[in-house]
Structure 1
């Protein structure tokens, strides 16, 4: 089935904005400028300020949702489902996970390459799969377990590529790379916890995706903005690149932006791209499929890598290509992209059909149980 022009636009928007999100954050990390009080020129190393900008982009999705809702209500027949009312505090725990993971990843991005950053984020399927088994009672298929094992292998290959690429160089830089890679993987554990919390407590409610993203963005933006105050006074030694050696020096960030306005352009690119990326991702899932969204998300890793090579942020390494292909294979297996191919093989077609019927039966059982809970709730009322 051929895609419509609108579907092509959505796919292109998701791929472009998803790539720009990481590239603009990395671009900001490449700048150097003078800080406050005549500080000498130093790198723009402000991951928590960048994270606040990212949450501002997510928060804007909430504003977009209400604008769409107001516009839709003016139509003779409204088409947007506003969803049921819910307690916004349901989003507090996932938002705190999002805030913690995002902040860690921005710290890591300043230490490692943009391509490795994007590739290593694929580790999320490992921890999401394991946590869904432990806390959601889900049973993973053999292909999903295989996907997890292949993803682990891909992470090892990408890590080896980073190590080999920097072996023989100054020790401090090598330690930064290793620390950054480990921080990214650690952040994926928190992202997996966020996904499990959302599935267990949030998405059983009828919440519009834009409203969900925007509400989490509001919590993340508010809490992290307030945390910038104590962060200004917490000493961490030379771990950060700001002159005062504190966890985050927001005033220094603003001074550097004043000295070099291009930094603001990079930060705005990050904020705007995350807003459009969330909108495009939700729309791709709705208009095309969740599988297409996953494929596009994998393709943006390739775009980020190509741009990083083109602008000279990193050097070409064949081992990194192998790591990307292994990670892509693991993600494809975990998400079931092998099924359409197996369905064309006569001896495997029956197995794929049985697997699809099992999924459909499980979905139907869940739908019936949900309807039964609604009826019981009505009777109790």
Structure 2
């Protein structure tokens, strides 16, 4: 079935905004600015970046309310038919609290990891969420994984190993140690455990809810803003050493310094705005793709996003090419395709069917030949 113009727009929106978001975060991390102590430092503020992300998501709630008010005023039923406002608009918003908190912790940890490793590896390593989602779904959703899913998980784990090794082999920046890259990669993978919890909770308690995408993202953004704002208070007093913290105060986060650095750099202002708006559009597109098409389509588009981020990083020399990362990425794709029953299982089945037909044809030929020989003998 051909995609509609709306579906094509959603697909492009997911790829473009998703790529732009990751690249914006990494671009901000690469900026060198003056801190409170007048020393030049990299912009290392993952928790503030998470806050900006949730602010962007919270704006989705405002957008939803404006659209709802507009279509509702028309009194022609469009509020219940428009793709942006239709659905179960009345629900208990606190069902989104746990997913929002999971998103808050996972995003913050991932941004710490992204600061230590490459943008392309960050995106590839996020594929490990399949492993943890599959395992958690067994215990909490009473789901049984078949051989295909386990094979997919095996491929994903193998691909992750290749990507991790390639990060160490391509390390050229003297400011980044092997330990830093390994730690960053492990943090990103650990964050996927929390993301998997988020996915399982959403499926268990929200699977039957038809909540409008903008409204759902908006509520998660509001809860995330509140949560990260509260968390910033102790984070400004917890001491930490580089590479976990690189600010004048030597704490996990330095909110005042982050705001000063942003105010003194137009590049950081652009990056922060990019983070906020791109994540809002990306999440809206992602949820809408799942509702309008399928979760499988969303996964495929996410793989395309990985290619875009990787190509950009190579083109702008944020990293160097290594064949092992390509091998790892291809293995990851095979694993994700197997797990989600895309292309690979169908190709295997098609090959087995052809092999079966050839075998059957050979057997028939042998039997017929033998029969002819017997007939000639008689």
Q: Normalising by the residue count of structure 1, what TM-score does the alignment of the two structures yield?
A: 0.86
Deviations 1:245-303 (Å, cap 9, x if unpaired)?
Answer: 10100111111112212101001101111111122223333444332221111110000
> How many angstroms apart in 2 are the aligned matches of 1:84 and 1:56?
21
1:127 maps to which residue? 132
Residue 8 (str. 1) matches residue 8 (str. 2): yes
Deviates more, 1:50-59 or 1:2-11: 2-11
SS at match of 2:142: coil
Residue 17 (str. 1) matches residue 17 (str. 2): yes
Residue 280 (str. 1) matches residue 285 (str. 2): yes
> How many angstroms apart in 2 are the aligned matches of 1:209 and 1:263?
29
> How many angstroms apart in 2 are the aligned matches of 1:296 and 1:104?
24
2:357 maps to which residue? none
1:294 maps to which residue? 299
1:379 maps to which residue? none
Cα gap change, 1:245/1:83 in structure 2, threshold over 3 Å: closer, same or farther?
same
Of the three residues 189, 192, 212, the one matched with 1:188 is 192
Computing the radius of gyration over CA atoms, which structure comes out larger, 1 or 2?
2
> How many angstroms apart in 2 are the aligned matches of 1:39 and 1:230?
24
Instruction: State the Cα distance separating 1:341 from its structure 2 match.
Output: 4.1
2:251 maps to which residue? 246
SS at match of 1:237: coil
Deviations 1:118-173 (Å, cap 9, x if unpaired)?
Answer: 00000000000000001110011211111111100000110111122238x85961
> How many angstroms apart in 1 are the aligned matches of 2:318 and 2:16?
19
Equivalences for residues 104-143 of structure 1 within 5 A: 104-143=109-148
Instruction: State the Cα distance separating 1:75 from its structure 2 match.
Output: 4.5
Aligned partners of 1:128 and 1:196 also within 8 Å: yes
Deviates more, 1:308-317 or 1:236-245: 236-245
Aligned partners of 1:84 and 1:205 also within 8 Å: no
Cα gap change, 1:5/1:179 in structure 2, threshold over 3 Å: closer, same or farther?
same
> How many angstroms apart in 1 are the aligned matches of 2:186 and 2:127?
13
> How many angstroms apart in 2 are the aligned matches of 1:282 and 1:213?
9
2:62 maps to which residue? 63
> How many angstroms apart in 1 are the aligned matches of 2:10 and 2:212?
18
Deviations 1:198-231 (Å, cap 9, x if unpaired)?
Answer: 1222333343333222211111111112222222
Residue 46 (str. 1) matches residue 51 (str. 2): no
1:26 maps to which residue? 26
1:347 maps to which residue? 353
1:271 maps to which residue? 276
Cα gap change, 1:129/1:347 in structure 2, threshold over 3 Å: closer, same or farther?
same
Aligned partners of 2:213 and 2:288 also within 8 Å: no
Deviations 1:285-338 (Å, cap 9, x if unpaired)?
Answer: 344433222111111000000000011100011110000000011111111103
> How many angstroms apart in 2 are the aligned matches of 1:346 and 1:116?
35
Residue 257 (str. 1) matches residue 262 (str. 2): yes
Aligned partners of 2:170 and 2:321 also within 8 Å: no
Aligned partners of 1:62 and 1:215 also within 8 Å: yes
> How many angstroms apart in 2 are the aligned matches of 1:222 and 1:170?
38
Instruction: State the Cα distance separating 1:32 from its structure 2 match.
Output: 0.8
2:322 maps to which residue? 317
Aligned partners of 2:126 and 2:188 also within 8 Å: yes
Cα gap change, 1:256/1:343 in structure 2, threshold over 3 Å: closer, same or farther?
same
Structure 1: segments with no counterpart, 5+ residues: 349-381
Deviates more, 1:234-243 or 1:19-28: 234-243
Instruction: State the Cα distance separating 1:345 from its structure 2 match.
Output: 5.8
> How many angstroms apart in 2 are the aligned matches of 1:35 and 1:346?
63
Aligned partners of 2:120 and 2:309 also within 8 Å: yes
- Structure 1 runs (4+) deviating above 6 angstroms are none
Aligned partners of 2:170 and 2:319 also within 8 Å: no
Aligned partners of 2:44 and 2:246 also within 8 Å: yes
Aligned partners of 2:116 and 2:176 also within 8 Å: no
Residue 198 (str. 1) matches residue 193 (str. 2): no
1:218 maps to which residue? 222
Cα gap change, 1:88/1:10 in structure 2, threshold over 3 Å: closer, same or farther?
closer
